[in-house]
Structure 1
Amino acid sequence: MSTAFTFPGQGSQSVGMGKDLADAFPEARAVFDEVDDALGQKLSALMWDGPDDELTLTANAQPALMAVSMATMRALEAKGFSFAEKVAYVAGHSLGEYSALAAAGALTIGDTARLLRVRGNAMQEAVPVGKGAMAAIIGLEQDAVEAICAESAAGGVCQIANDNGGGQLVISGTKESVEKAVTLASEKGAKRALLLPVSAPFHSELMQPAADAMRSALSDVPLQAPAVPLVCNVLAQPVTDPQEIKDLLVRQVTGQVRWRETVSWFAAHGVTEACEVGAGKVLTGLARRIDRSISGKAINTPQDIENYLQG
C-alpha cells in the first residue's frame, strides 16, 4: 500500500482558487508571494479577483495552477505532513508535471513559475490563432482513434494529445485535420466527438517551437533529483535522473500525456491512494474511471487538508 500525489493541468483553474489557503496558512500565502515576485506580476490578485478570461490565458493559468498546488503542499507540511515519509510517487498532467517536480524538491517555486511562464507563452505563440485545434473523442478505443488521426492528417497534423482514460482521448493538430477527425469519429461510433475551446494545438508536433524554447529555458535552470520518482507523461514510467527529466519535459510539449497508463502503472506497483493536490477534482475523477483499486482524494481547501490528515 502506498500513496501517489498527482497535480492538475490546465482547465482546472477558476477565479478565487487558493484564496482560502492563503487566508488560513501563512505558509500558503508565502507561496503566492514567491510566485508574484518571480514573475514580477501580482498573479495572486488575478487568481483571486479575475477576470476569468485573463486567468485562462495559458501564460497565466500554468503558473497559477502550480502556485495553488504548492500552496496546498506547504499548508500540508505546516500541519506536520512529511512528504518523504508518506508519498511514494508523484505525477502531473501536462503542466502539472512541473508542480510535481516542485513538490518533490527538484525545482524551486520561483524557477518553476518562470519556466511555466516561458512554457505558456511559447505554447501560445507556436501556432497562429485559428490554425490549430483540439477535440475530445469519447467512446472509441485508442487504436481506432489513432487510425482516424492517420486518415485525417492528409498533409496536416492530427495526433492523440492526451489519453485520459475512461474512453476519453484528446486529439490535437491542424484545424482542418482535427475537424475531419471529429466527423470521422462520429461516423465510426464515438459517443461524443467535439472540438474543445482551447487557444492552441497542445501536445502535437505543431508545438515544436515551444519544445525548442523549453529546451533552452531548462538548460539554464538547476534541477535536482526528486525526493521520490516522477511517473512522467511521455513514458508512463518512473524517472529520477535530472537530465532525463529535463529531456522528457521537452518531449512532453509535443508528446502524448499518457495519463491512463500512468494511473495503471500506479495500480500495478502497489499504489492504493492517489491524492490530487491543487485546484479542482479532474484527476480524482479520472483515477476512479481508470482503476477502481485506487482511491482518489482531492486536496485543495483547508477543510480537505484537515480531513486528509485525520485520515
Structure 2
Amino acid sequence: MSLALLFPGQGSQSLKMGCLLGDAFPVARDVLAEVDEALGQNLSQIMREGPEDLLTLTENAQPALMAVSMAAMRVLKTEFGFDVTQAAYVAGHSLGEYSALCAAGSITLTDAARLLKLRGQAMQRAVPVGVGGMASLIGPKTDLVLAEAAAAAGSEVGTCVVANDNVGGNIVISGDKPAVERAIEKAKELGARAIHLNVSAPFHCPLMQPAADEMANALASATILAPAVPLVANVTASPQTDPEVIRRLLVEQVTGRVRWRESLNWMTGEGGVTRFAEVGSGKVLTGMAKRGAPDAEAVALNTAEDLEAFAKSL
C-alpha cells in the first residue's frame, strides 16, 4: 500500500488545535515551544486560548497550522516509530507545502515557522483589506472549464484567476473584489453556486506579486535540503526533490494556482498512491481525497487515538 502524507492549509485552523496532543505528549509540547521561540511570540497560547480572530490572522494561522502538523509528526516518530520515509510522497495545500517540506527534512522547524510568519505578513501587506476577494465555486456543474469562464468574465473589470483547483465541484477564484463579483455572476449563469470566502487578502493570484517578491528574498537565504521523500508541488502537480527547484516553486506558489485536483490525480495514477493521511488540524484534505480519489483510502490524523491507530495499521 503506497502512502502519501497530506498537510492542511489555511482554513483548517481552530481554537485548541494541537492542545490535546501537547497535553498528552511532551514531544508535541516541545514542537509548539520551539515554534514560539522561533517567532518570539506565544503562539501556542493563542492556539489554546484565542481569541479566535487573532488565531485566524494569516500571519498567525500559517505558522500555527504548521506547528500542529509537526507536533503530530513528532509524536508519530517518537511514540509510534513512524518515519516519513514510510510514505512515498508528501504534499501540502498552499502553506501546507512548508509543513510537508519540514516533515520531509527539507526545511527546519525554526525556518518553516519564520518563513510562514513572513509569508502571512507579506500576503497581508500586498493588498489592502477590502480591495481583493476570493470565492468558492461549488456544485456538480463546477469544473475547471466553468471556473475559467467565470474568471475570464471577471477579468473584464480587473484581476481574476482560478486560485485553487481543489477537486471537482470545488474551485476557488481570487482577485480584485469587483472582478470576483463579476465572476460570481457568470458562474451562477453557468450553473454553479458561489460562496464568498472570509479571507483578508486575495491569495494565489497576480495581486500577490509583492508578497512573492518578499518571499523570494527570504527564501534566497534559507537552507533547503533535498526532501527525504518527494514533494508533490502545488505549482506543478508533480514530484520534486531538487532544492533549487523547490525554492523557486515556493516563490511561484504565492501567485500561482494550487493544482490540488491534478496533484491527487498524479499521486493515485502515476504515483501509485492508494492511501492518504492528512496530518495536523481538520479534515479538509481528507474530504477532498475521498471525493477526488474515491478508490484510495483517506484518513485524518488529528488526535492521539488517530495517530496510534494509523501507526498500528502500517
TM-score by length of structure 1 reads 0.98
Q: Matched residues in 1 for 2:286 and 2:151: separation? A: 28
**Alpha-carbon distance, 1:167 to partner:** 1.4
SS at match of 2:10: coil
| Structure 1 unmatched ranges of 5 or more | none
Q: Which amino acid aligns with 1:174?
A: D
**Alpha-carbon distance, 1:72 to partner:** 0.1
Question: What CA deviation, in whole Å up to 9, does each residue of 1:204-261 have, x standing for no partner?
Answer: 0000000000000101110100000000001000000001001000000000001111
Question: What CA deviation, in whole Å up to 9, does each residue of 1:128-158 have, x standing for no partner?
Answer: 1111000011132211211221122124100
Q: Does the aligned pair in 1 maintain the 2:3–2:273 contact within 8 Å?
A: yes
Partner of 1:21: 21
Question: What CA deviation, in whole Å up to 9, does each residue of 1:39-92 have, x standing for no partner?
Answer: 000000000111000000000000000000000000000123332441110000
SS at match of 1:283: helix
Q: Does the aligned pair in 1 maintain the 2:235–2:259 contact within 8 Å?
A: yes
Partner of 1:38: 38
Partner of 1:55: 55
Q: Write out aligned runs for 1:181-260 (5 A).
A: 181-190=183-192, 192-260=193-261
Partner of 1:164: 166
Partner of 1:307: 309
Q: Matched residues in 2 for 1:228 and 1:220: separation? A: 23
Partner of 2:265: 264
TM-score by length of structure 2 reads 0.97
| Structure 2 unmatched ranges of 5 or more | none
Q: Which amino acid aligns with 2:170?
A: Q
Partner of 2:108: 108
**Alpha-carbon distance, 1:194 to partner:** 2.1
Partner of 2:296: 294
Alpha-carbon RMSD: 0.9
Q: Does the aligned pair in 2 maintain the 1:134–1:196 contact within 8 Å?
A: yes
Partner of 1:279: 281
User: How many aligned positions are there?
Assistant: 310
Q: Matched residues in 1 for 2:4 and 2:195: separation? A: 32
Q: Does the aligned pair in 2 maintain the 1:277–1:298 contact within 8 Å?
A: yes
Q: Matched residues in 1 for 2:145 and 2:229: separation? A: 33
Q: Which segment is superposed worse, 194-203 or 90-99?
A: 194-203
Question: What CA deviation, in whole Å up to 9, does each residue of 1:14-54 have, x standing for no partner?
Answer: 11000111111111111001000000000000001110000
Moved over 4 A (4+): none
Q: Does the aligned pair in 1 maintain the 2:143–2:168 contact within 8 Å?
A: no
Q: Matched residues in 2 for 1:254 and 1:63: separation? A: 19
Matched, 1:147 2:141: no
Q: Which amino acid aligns with 1:297?
A: V
SS at match of 1:193: strand
Q: Does the aligned pair in 2 maintain the 1:84–1:227 contact within 8 Å?
A: yes
**Alpha-carbon distance, 1:309 to partner:** 1.6
SS at match of 1:31: helix
Partner of 2:75: 75
Q: Does the aligned pair in 1 maintain the 2:204–2:254 contact within 8 Å?
A: yes
Q: Does the aligned pair in 2 maintain the 1:182–1:195 contact within 8 Å?
A: no
- Aligned to 1:179, which of 165, 173, 181? 181
Q: Matched residues in 1 for 2:154 and 2:212: separation? A: 24
Q: Which amino acid aligns with 2:19?
A: K
Q: Does the aligned pair in 2 maintain the 1:278–1:300 contact within 8 Å?
A: yes
SS at match of 2:80: coil
Percent sequence identity over matched residues? 58
SS at match of 1:225: coil
